[in-house]
């Protein structure tokens, strides 16, 4: 059975635990990289990984390696301080790749 994970600052991810999602609170780039490596292993069986935009900025190179894979789907979410626009940009790029043209 596939699982869902949420990675980001502790203040952002703790609420997702109440929904039954697996949370990975991280405080710096090295910790985020280690968590991402761990949860993207095939045996972890995550279908969706939500990553806070602020954390995703430090993991841009690692995240781009998953753009053409079906699982896990990596989705950027705004942090406690609001959206930085990275999630919308990532969605726009994914639609452009899928359709072959900029329809948005």
pLDDT, tens digit, 9 for 90 and up, residues 6-60:
999 999 999 999 999 999 999 999 999 999 999 999 999 999 999 999 899 999 9
pLDDT tens digits for 63-103?
Answer: 988 888 888 989 888 877 756 655 556 555 655 555 566 65
Q: Please, which contacts does 92-97 make with residues 24 or more away whose CB atoms are closer than 8 Å?
A: 94/67, 97/67
Domains and CATH numbers, the chain: 3-99 (3.40.50.10580)
- Cβ proximity of 16 and 25 under 8 Å: no
- pTM over 0.85, yes/no: no
SS3 82: strand
């Amino acid at each position: 059975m596939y699982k869902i994970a949420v990675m980001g600052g502790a203040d952002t991810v703790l609420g997702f635990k109440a929904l039954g999602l697996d949370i990975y609170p991280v405080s710096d780039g090295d910790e985020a990289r280690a968590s991402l490596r761990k949860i993207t292993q095939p045996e972890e069986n995550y279908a969706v990984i939500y990553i806070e935009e602020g954390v995703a900025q430090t993991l841009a190179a690692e995240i781009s390696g998953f753009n053409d894979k079906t699982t896990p789907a990596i989705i950027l979410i705004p942090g406690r301080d609001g959206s930085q626009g990275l999630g919308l940009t990532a969605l726009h790029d994914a639609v452009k790749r899928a359709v072959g043209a900029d329809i948005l």
